[in-house]
Amino acid sequence: MSATIRKVFAVDIHSEGIEAYKAWHRAGGPPQAVTDSIRADDIRDLEIWLVGDRMMLIMEQGPNFDPATKAQRDTNNPDVQAWDALMRTFQKPLPFGPEGSTWLEMARIYSLSEQP
């Protein structure tokens, strides 16, 4: 099996939308076209975690993942665009992020596997 790369992202969520956001992300909740789009770009696994009003997205990318290609495909996919627009209504940008941003990539600062 090819090596994967793990990326972690964060965004806040409007507290009044948490239950709806969770419902949209239940098994079978996202439109199939969105799930297919994720898988087609060699994203091997994707999880969203929640604590309070902060969410973390953990993404395992395969070796064929290319963020520029994914962005272009997503821009040209009306189902993905509609999903993104809906999800943005729940998401609250992090206060230190650029204008208009949602999920911000986090920097890994520790790994147990690198310890002696």
What positions carry a catalytic annotation? 14
Structure token pair of residue 77: 């996919």
Of 16, 38, 19, 27, residue with least CA distance to 83: 38
